Each structure stands twice: as C-alpha cells, then as structure tokens.
Amino acid sequence: QEFPHRPLQLSMFTFSEEAKSCSDDLYDKTMKFDLVLSLEVAEHIAVQYQSELIRRLASATSKYLVFSAARPDQGGTGHIDDSMHSRTWWIEQLSQQGLTYLPQLSRALRYVTSRPDRPYDLGYNLIAMGANGAPDVEEIPPLAHDCMYHPKFKIEWREGDRQYLDYEEREYSQKHNLPEYLPLRQPCPFPSDENMEKRRLWVEGQEQALWPELDHLIRLVKSHELKCRI
C-alpha cells in the first residue's frame, strides 16, 4: 500500500554535461535561501567538482550556510580521499566566496546536533557561515541545556563551562582574532547509562515516526521473519 505523503526523489549527477540544462534550472543564480544545508556530502563528490559545489552553496546563501564534510582519514562509505579536507580548508574556501565564518554558532550547533549519535562527524566537522552580515550567537541555544541531548564526548574540547573544539579551531580563532570558546550556562555532566538508554529509546521512536516502512523492514530482518538474499 502507498503511504501518504511519500517523498519523491530526483537522482542525478548535477555536475555532468548531460545534466547541465536541468541543473542550471535547479540552481538558478537568482535563488537565495535564508538557510542552506550541506551535511556530510562533499566528501562523496570528486575533487574536480568541489569548486563548483562551493560556488553554488555560497551563491544560494542569503543568511546562513550550515556545512559539514568528512575530514581526512575519517572512516565512512563512499568517501573520496582527495575530496576530504580539514574544517579550516572549507572555511577558507567558503570565505573566498564572500561568506563569513561564525565560530560561536558553529560551536553551538556542534553541541546540539552531534549528540550521542554523531560525535565522530557532525561533532567535529560542522561549521556555520554567514552572508550579508548575518549575526553570530552569543550563547548556546536553550535546547542544548537538556542533558539528554549532550554528546558523549570525553575529549579535550570542553573545560567546565567553556565549549570549544580542538587545537585546530583554537589556532584559527587566535589567528583571526575570534572568540576562542562559547560559554555554557548549564554545562551537562557526561550522560549516565540511564540517560543513554533514555536517549536510545527517544531516537528509536523518532525513527519509527520518520521512516515507518524502513523501520518495519529492519524489525522483520532482526526477528528473522524476513531473510536477505546474499
């Protein structure tokens, strides 16, 4: 049976010559958006097309671009070695397109979005860039003060009520005279096993709500009611 509101997907390689006419219509240079997202995608795009990707992202951004891409030596499926760069590299490339790095919003978003599930990629790689004078934030969003959302990190980038990332970020901040850390009003302790179980059940419920068909198939496979052919 067809589920209501089934999403439709257009799958094409927008950088190819064959798709140029279609992609030019989709990526109209006059189209602007307050928020543009590109999360863990750029490392899957061949290096010769990355300059065009950067140009398109910057051109479409009228206020905020939230960007994340796999760093060198990060594990994953389908990553292209030559297409994996440091955060600083991406910041510099996007800055050359007229965007401004927003260090405090970057830290706040990492704090919220990485959570226990994505510390290895979003927790490190995510950056926020601004266009047309888009303001940075001064404090962590209130949502982050729910300790259920706190990522299970035990690394150097949090000291008491100060949130920063690593030495690469500190060096960049010092070089460009930017704030070196984001203050936390209510720093969360690292989550207990009980908090982690609460978080796991919450994520499970979200997955069931967002992808009911996929969740159903996964449950059938795990219960051995449905077997995959190899």
What integer pLDDT is reported at residue 115 of this predicted model?
60
What integer pLDDT is reported at residue 120 of this predicted model?
81
What integer pLDDT is reported at residue 42 of this predicted model?
95
What integer pLDDT is reported at residue 142 of this predicted model?
61
The closest of 43, 126, 140, 130 to 85, measured between CA atoms, is 43
What is the SS3 assignment for the chain?
CCCCCCCCCCCCCCCCCCCHHHHHHHCCCCCCEEEEEEECCHHHCCHHHHHHHHHHHHHHEEEEEEEECCCCCCCCCCCCHHHCCCHHHHHHHHHCCCCEECHHHHHHHHHHHHCCCCCCCHHHHCEEEECCCCCCCCCCCHHHHCHHHCCCCCCCCEECCEECCCHHHHHHHHHCCCCCCEECCCCCCCCCHHHHHHHHHHHHHHHHHHCHHHHHHHHHHHCCCCCCCC
What integer pLDDT is reported at residue 1 of this predicted model?
44
What integer pLDDT is reported at residue 156 of this predicted model?
44
Per-residue pLDDT of the chain (230 residues; tens, 9 = 90+): 455 555 555 666 778 788 877 877 777 778 899 999 999 999 999 999 999 999 999 999 999 999 999 999 998 889 999 999 999 999 999 999 999 999 999 988 887 776 666 778 888 899 999 998 999 988 776 655 555 545 555 444 566 667 666 778 888 889 999 888 887 776 666 667 787 788 788 888 888 898 888 888 888 888 888 876 65
What integer pLDDT is reported at residue 117 of this predicted model?
67
Sorted by sequence, the CB contacts under 8 Å of residue 107 that are 6+ apart come out as: 140, 163, 164, 165, 181, 182
